[in-house]
Chain A
Amino acid sequence: MADAWHYNYTDFGEGHGRSPQPVLRAVVGVATPGAPSRFAAIIDTGGPITVVASEVLRSGGDPVERNESMLLRLGGSTNEVGLYDLTLEVRPPASAPDATPIAWRSVVAVLDPWPHHGTAVILGQTGFLDTFTVTFGPDGFVLEPASVFRERFAQQGDPG
């Protein structure tokens, strides 16, 4: 990832007729390495961990079960979800079609059946925000390596 990847927000058409503004989501294309298709993945800055549908595991990514679980509330219900090590790659935005996807391996929570009315991947703190610098602006968001944040704000951490 030599350059910052600039993405537009996505309007899936949620809440039309009710919301005062379109509901805009920060969505990137995520896939298991080499898979022809990708999953629309919502970046959830409040999410503690990346969560995927079990179908995502079946598409590749060398999933390895960690024999650990956690309680997670998703889709209005609380579930005990299994944790896996999984390799995913984020695909570049439409504005950078020649850029190479960036792969990373991390822990994901796998929920089956998938209750979320949206995408099959939700990118959270563990498994995404600990790997990339994501900058949100009013008209779009930017994905960069984690090192960018450390360089930009070196030694400016919260002393408290």
Chain B
Amino acid sequence: MSWCFVCWGCPWSPGFPGFPYRLQSAIYYRQPPDRVTSNGYAPIMVRTLDLTPWAGRWVAVDSHDHVCCDAPTLAELLDALATAGLGDVEVMRAPAPDEPVVYGLG
């Protein structure tokens, strides 16, 4: 993990002697003592979707997490699904690369 040297001397920098231990600990280790993983979460317990090719589009994902239908708008996707009769699929929107991460309702 690297740090910005511009602010290395800042009291809030992790390198500053007075940097709060708990926060420093959280940043460096990221691992509460009761966790069994080393990087903050157990990847095997996470459903990871690779929707990069459909960035910004609405997609229908099947039970194997494969995109089986996509459209630029939700309404168009639902129309396409009604026509195609693909059965049990899950509808979501693929995030675009430059979009900010939304907090809750945003």
Interface residues of A (CB under 8 A from B): 8-19, 21-24, 27, 29, 36-40, 44, 46-47, 51, 53, 55, 58-59, 72-76, 94, 114, 116-120, 122, 124, 138-140
Main secondary structure of the interface of B (DSSP, over half): loop
Contact, CB under 8 Å: B92 / A118? yes
Contact, CB under 8 Å: A37 / B105? no
Query: Which residues of chain B are near A116, meaning CB under 8 Å?
Result: 102, 105-106
A116, B104: Cα distance in complex, Å: 10
- The answer to whether the Cβ of B40 comes within 8 Å of any Cβ in the partner chain is yes
Cβ contact of A10, chosen from B49, B75, B85, B100, cutoff 8 A: B49
- On whether A19 and B101 interact (CB within 8 A), knowing A36-B88, A139-B42, the answer reads yes
Contact, CB under 8 Å: A40 / B105? no
Interface residues of B (CB under 8 A from A): 30, 32, 35, 37, 39-42, 45-52, 60-61, 63, 74-75, 78, 81, 85-97, 99-102, 104-106
Cβ contact of B46, chosen from A10, A117, A124, cutoff 8 A: A10
- On whether A22 and B41 interact (CB within 8 A), knowing A55-B74, A55-B75, the answer reads yes
- Chain B nearest CB: distance from A34 CB in Å? 12
Contact, CB under 8 Å: A39 / B91? yes
Task: Give the tally of cross-chain contacts (CB within 8 A).
Answer: 127
- Chain A nearest CB: distance from B104 CB in Å? 5
Query: Which residues of chain B are near A73, meaning CB under 8 Å?
Result: 105
Contact, CB under 8 Å: B40 / A21? yes
Query: Which residues of chain B are near A22, meaning CB under 8 Å?
Result: 41, 46, 48
Greatest chain A CB density within 10 A among B85, B101, B105 is at B105
Query: Which residues of chain A are near B99, meaning CB under 8 Å?
Result: 14, 117
User: What are 26 residue pairs bridging A and B, where the CB atoms are less than 8 Å apart in the complex?
Assistant: A8-B47, A9-B46, A10-B46, A11-B46, A13-B94, A14-B99, A14-B101, A18-B101, A21-B40, A36-B85, A37-B60, A37-B88, A39-B92, A40-B61, A40-B91, A40-B92, A44-B105, A47-B105, A94-B63, A114-B74, A116-B102, A116-B105, A116-B106, A118-B92, A119-B93, A138-B42
